[in-house]
Amino acid sequence: PSLDILKEKVSTIVTTELTQVNINESVSKVAKILIEKGIGGVPVIDDDGSLVGVFTERDILLLIGRYQLF
């Protein structure tokens, strides 16, 4: 494998189908969306449609650790 792949433009691999969630959505619902869509994270928007963050699989792991759910 060549390191030339690191020069590849993001536009050649990015998906144009955008999934986003509202900031008031439950973690359970967002986790289901990640699983169903086979994605690792989603943009989070507020009620005005402004981007306020990104929710990722890592956030779920942090919650599991915080609440000692292991």
Strand 41-45 to 21-22 pairing = parallel
pLDDT in tens, 11-45: 998 888 999 999 999 999 999 999 999 999 999 99
For residues 47-67, give the mean pLDDT: 97
Which pTM was predicted?
A: 0.82
Angle at which helices 27-37 and 57-66 pack, to 10 degrees? 140
Report helix, strand and coil shares of the chain as percent, to nearest 5.
40, 20, 40
pLDDT at position 35: 98
